[in-house]
């Protein structure tokens, strides 16, 4: 069994996961949620390989692509469903925009790549993959390509689900995830089709990198747009929160500076304060969520949805105050009743 191949694939997946988390520097998703999507993706890949012949998955272009993307789509959907349920129980959403969907989808896709490598190493003879190749270990470039491609395809599905959560019309909520699935299938098909002429040669790797440029560019474009949107929301919506106590002036500056935030996290780690490190991450995430939810409430036209979103804003403030108390920061502002008693 090529244990080196599996180890290299896992290392590459972890590196890509770290990169994905760093990309969304405004609101890093909870580590447990990212790991959950990764595990769901890996499980979907293993289940697919155990239930469908490898010959069909690898030699039949259209059925292979469709089955892989369907398995990945269902894994992303399952993860989004769990996060939606968690949000419902807490009273505020865990997915706030396309950037979150992209991160979770990419994590699932990277898990899928790792699970696929594991299934192949465990279920297939190490000396021959269906008689299709005689090479032993894949190059670093090939492993990097596999991880990136699966991450991108998963990101496209994740973007579709995130867009559906923000859609106002029921028909769009149903169609947008399907749109993400179609985009992932199209990107995957082009990726495999362009490189299939010389399936195990270096020329195929070059062609597949070229085929991946367009979906990668699309994901990068979404990231840039969403990061800009988040940055504006932080600047415009959190300034007044100094009056409520949810965000101090110093915290607002930190939320607008990646360097300052990372310095705060490192300070906790250097003191071996893992609990404080986790709570500080959670605090900053909730503060960014507050900004995005306030922006959503301000732009909501439907009164019922605006009222629901306003309730999310209130519960996010409560969560922020609780985290601040756990970190030993300034106490929450007095309620109206407490002010009256004073």
pLDDT of residue 137: 40
Query: What mean pLDDT value characterizes the chain?
Result: 84
Q: What is the pTM of this model?
A: 0.84
Which pLDDT band holds residue 14 (cuts at 50, 70, 90)?
Answer: confident
Question: Which regions of 49-126 does DSSP assign to beta strands (E)?
Answer: none
Q: What value does the CA radius of gyration of the chain take, rounded to a whole number of Å?
A: 22
Instruction: Name the least confident of 8-22, 267-281, 288-302.
Output: 8-22
Q: Work out the number of other CB atoms within 10 angstroms of the CB of residue 193.
A: 15
* 102 close to 223: Cβ distance less than 8 angstroms: yes
pLDDT of residue 247: 93
pLDDT of residue 133: 40
The three-class DSSP label of residue 216 is helix
The DSSP result for 37-52, as a single string, is: HHHHHHHHHHHHHHHS
Q: Can you tell me which residue has the tokens 């999507």?
A: 37
Does the CA dihedral 172-177-181-184 come out positive or negative?
positive
Question: Which tens digits make up the pLDDT trace of 79-133?
Answer: 999 999 999 999 999 898 899 999 999 999 999 988 888 887 766 554 444 444 4
pLDDT of residue 10: 74
Question: Which tens digits make up the pLDDT trace of 206-235?
Answer: 777 787 888 889 899 988 999 999 999 999
């Amino acid at each position: 069994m090529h244990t080196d191949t599996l180890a290299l694939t896992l290392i590459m997946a972890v590196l890509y996961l770290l990169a994905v988390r760093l990309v969304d520097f405004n609101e890093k998703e909870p580590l447990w949620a990212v790991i959950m999507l990764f595990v769901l993706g890996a499980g979907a890949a293993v289940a697919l390989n155990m239930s469908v012949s490898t010959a069909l998955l690898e030699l039949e272009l259209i059925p292979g692509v469709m089955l892989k993307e369907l398995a990945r789509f269902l894994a992303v959907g399952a993860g989004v469903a769990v996060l939606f349920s968690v949000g419902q129980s807490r009273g505020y959403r865990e997915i706030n925009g396309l950037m979150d969907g992209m991160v979770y989808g990419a994590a699932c896709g990277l898990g899928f790549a790792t699970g696929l490598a594991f299934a192949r190493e465990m279920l297939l003879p190490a000396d021959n993959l269906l008689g299709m190749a005689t090479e032993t270990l894949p190059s670093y470039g090939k492993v990097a390509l596999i991880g990136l491609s699966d991450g991108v395809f998963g990101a496209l599905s994740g973007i579709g689900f995130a867009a559906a959560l923000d859609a106002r019309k029921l028909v769009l909520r149903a169609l947008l995830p399907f749109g993400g699935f179609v985009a992932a299938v199209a990107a995957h098909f082009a990726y495999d089709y362009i490189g299939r002429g010389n399936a195990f040669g270096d020329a195929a790797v070059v062609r597949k990198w070229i085929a991946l440029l367009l979906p990668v560019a699309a994901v990068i474009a979404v990231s840039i747009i969403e990061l800009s949107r988040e940055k504006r929301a932080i600047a415009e919506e959190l300034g007044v929160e100094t009056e409520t106590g949810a965000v101090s002036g110093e915290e607002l500056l930190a939320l607008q500076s990646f360097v300052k935030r990372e310095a705060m996290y490192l300070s906790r780690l250097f003191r071996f304060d893992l609990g404080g490190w986790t709570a500080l991450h959670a605090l900053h995430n909730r503060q960014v969520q507050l900004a995005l939810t306030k922006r959503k409430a301000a732009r909501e036209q439907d009164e019922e949805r605006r009222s629901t979103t306003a309730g999310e804003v209130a519960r996010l403030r409560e969560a922020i105050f609780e985290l601040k108390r756990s970190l030993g920061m300034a106490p929450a502002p007095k309620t109206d009743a407490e002010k009256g008693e004073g």
